[in-house]
Amino acid sequence: MSNNADLVIHGGRVVTPDAEFDASIAVRNGKIVALGSADSMPPAAETFDAEGLHILPGAIDVHVHFRDPGYPHKEDWASGTAAAAFGGVTTVFDMPNTIPPTGTAEILAAKHEIASSKAHVDYGLYGLLGEDTIDAVPALCAGGIIGFKCYMGNTFGKIPSPSTGAMLEAFEVVAQTGKRISLHAETNSIMERRETKLRAAGRADPLAHLASRPAVVAIEAVSRAAILAEWTGARIHILHISSADELRPLREAKARGVDITGETGPHYLMLSSDDYAKIGGIIRDTPPVREKHNQEPLRQALMDSTIDLISTDHAPQTPEEKTSNTNWTAS
Ligand SMILES: [Zn+2]
């Protein structure tokens, strides 16, 4: 077998978890086979000049909503994964709130078919963990999923949130599989009551969206999920952490040994409620972008590993959908 490389990248600045340095990289059969000075590289079929560029490992985005199947006017697996590749994201984990929701082995198999035929990057699929999908847990695991998604609160697709009783049973079942359960941790009954009152008062503006989901929806949901995880031994992950206040139950759960991880998104770190007037309806997201005083504690939590990672929660809508004041769940 030839020792030649398929590709050598020259002149770039290589970034690893520990260091940053100038180096050339040789690639064969999709794998890095040499890293070092330019004159130490093997001959290559192709060379690429990365002068002035940084070279980083491909990013893994653990939280995307490609709208396929079900919403082809928003996106599909080809366009979504092409965008990911252009952004340096080489693996995506896709959420189950497509049509139909990914809650049975048959629906999962059909989604794998679509994804594997169109995807430009590596991918994983989440299975839906809801009131009526607990019996499907073994079949979903056998069908190939990265983990489960449980909607404690309403978001795009209006998947009903399970009762606490169903969640406990679901956690017991999933704990046996070793799969992690990712949680949309906002308590639905709080949001529903507040939204109903705001609607009755004639409110439907973007700030009403924030008012309907105060941070207590997340504090309550994270605390409750952590208690159920502790009881059952289930491994859980808190999605899109938006508030400083939900960090306390997350920290406390970690401290007492619950297998719990968390993520936030760039919009919670870089935008605040001050931006609603400037940006308008397109800022509406679930959970909502919150008051500015949340940003620094979220950053600190990333630095001290209370929050484990950043995801995009990529979830495209049409401009009309984003700017319509009737859309309360624009994630
Ligand atoms: Zn999401």
Q: Are residues 129 and 270 in the same domain?
A: yes
pLDDT score of 300: 98
**pLDDT at 67 exceeding the cut of 70:** yes
Give the count of alpha carbons within 13 A of 11, CB side only: 7
Residue 33 one-letter amino acid? V
Q: How far is the CA of 19 from the centre of ligand 1 (A)?
A: 32
* Least confident among 111-125, 150-164, 250-264, 306-320: 150-164
pLDDT score of 325: 64
H, E, C per residue of 198-263: HHHCCCCCHHHHHHCCCCHHHHHHHHHHHHHHHHHCCEEEECCCCCCCCHHHHHHHHHCCCCEEEE
**pLDDT at 252 exceeding the cut of 70:** yes
Instruction: Give the CATH number of the domain where residue 239 resides.
Output: 3.20.20.140
In the chain, which residue ranges form alpha helices assigned H by DSSP? Answer: 77-86, 105-118, 137-142, 164-175, 188-200, 206-211, 216-232, 247-255, 266-270, 276-279, 295-303, 319-323
Residue 329 lies in a domain: no
Q: How many domains does the chain have?
A: 2
Q: Are residues 16 and 158 in the same domain?
A: no
* Least confident among 2-6, 30-34, 118-122, 166-170: 2-6
Looking at residues 236-263, what average pLDDT do you find? Answer: 98
Q: Are residues 79 and 44 in the same domain?
A: no
Q: Are residues 181 and 44 in the same domain?
A: no
Q: Are residues 49 and 66 in the same domain?
A: no
**pLDDT at 1 exceeding the cut of 70:** no
Q: How far is the CA of 155 from the centre of ligand 1 (A)?
A: 8
| Residue range 121-161, pLDDT digits in tens | 999 999 999 999 999 999 999 999 999 999 998 776 678 89
Q: How far is the CA of 55 from the centre of ligand 1 (A)?
A: 28
pLDDT score of 279: 87
Mean pLDDT, rounded, of the chain: 94
Q: Are residues 46 and 134 in the same domain?
A: no
Could you tell me the pLDDT band of residue 105, with boundaries at 50, 70 and 90?
Answer: very high
- Find tokens 């940003």 and name the residue: 295
Q: How far is the CA of 11 from the centre of ligand 1 (A)?
A: 38
Could you tell me the pLDDT band of residue 324, with boundaries at 50, 70 and 90?
Answer: confident
| Residue range 266-287, pLDDT digits in tens | 999 999 999 998 888 888 889 9
Instruction: Give the CATH number of the domain where residue 16 resides.
Output: 2.30.40.10
Where does residue 203 fall: left (phi above 0), alpha (psi -120 to 50 degrees), or beta otherwise? Answer: beta
Residue 42's closest CA among 88, 5, 71, 9? 5
Residue 133 lies in a domain: yes
End-to-end CA distance of the chain: 51
Q: How far is the CA of 329 from the centre of ligand 1 (A)?
A: 11
Residue 118 lies in a domain: yes
pLDDT score of 206: 86
Q: Are residues 45 and 70 in the same domain?
A: no
Q: Are residues 22 and 159 in the same domain?
A: no
Q: How far is the CA of 49 from the centre of ligand 1 (A)?
A: 37
Query: Is residue 83 classed as helix, strand or coil in its secondary structure?
Result: helix
- Assessment of whether the complete model's pTM goes beyond 0.85: yes
Residue 222's closest CA among 190, 264, 263, 186? 186
Torsion of CA 148, 153, 159, 164, to 10 degrees: 70
Neighbour-count burial of 275, counting CB atoms closer than 10 A to its CB (0-12 exposed, 13-18 middle, 19+ buried): middle
Q: Are residues 69 and 21 in the same domain?
A: no
**pLDDT at 18 exceeding the cut of 60:** yes
Residue 90 lies in a domain: yes
Looking at residues 213-238, what average pLDDT do you find? Answer: 98
Point out the domain boundary residue: 21, 40, 55: 55
Could you tell me the pLDDT band of residue 326, with boundaries at 50, 70 and 90?
Answer: low
How far is residue 138's CA from residue 145's CA, in Å, rounded to a whole number? 11
Residue 169 lies in a domain: yes
Separation in Å, CA 264 to CA 203, 246, 286 = 28, 11, 12
Residue 52 one-letter amino acid? G
Q: How far is the CA of 117 from the centre of ligand 1 (A)?
A: 23
Q: How far is the CA of 125 from the centre of ligand 1 (A)?
A: 13
Provide the residues around ligand 1 (an ion) whose CB is within 5 A.
313
Residue 331 lies in a domain: no
Domain membership of residue 29 as a residue range: 5-55
Q: Are residues 167 and 35 in the same domain?
A: no
| DSSP-assigned letters across all residues of 162-187 | PPHHHHHHHHHHHHTTT-EEEEE---
Residue 113 lies in a domain: yes
Q: How far is the CA of 63 from the centre of ligand 1 (A)?
A: 6
pLDDT score of 204: 84
Torsion of CA 126, 60, 314, 183, to 10 degrees: 40
Beta strands at 309-310 and 5-15: parallel, antiparallel or unpaired: unpaired
Residue 328 lies in a domain: no
pLDDT score of 157: 66
Q: How far is the CA of 227 from the centre of ligand 1 (A)?
A: 23
Q: Are residues 174 and 51 in the same domain?
A: no
pLDDT score of 151: 96
71 with 98: CB under 8 angstroms? yes
Point out the domain boundary residue: 55, 71, 97: 55
| Residue range 169-181, pLDDT digits in tens | 999 999 999 999 9
Point out the domain boundary residue: 18, 34, 55: 55
Q: How far is the CA of 312 from the centre of ligand 1 (A)?
A: 8
pLDDT score of 3: 83
How far is residue 275's CA from residue 278's CA, in Å, rounded to a whole number? 5
Q: How far is the CA of 3 from the centre of ligand 1 (A)?
A: 45
Q: Are residues 49 and 69 in the same domain?
A: no
How far is residue 143's CA from residue 163's CA, in Å, rounded to a whole number? 26
How far is residue 180's CA from residue 184's CA, in Å, rounded to a whole number? 13
154 with 329: CB under 8 angstroms? yes
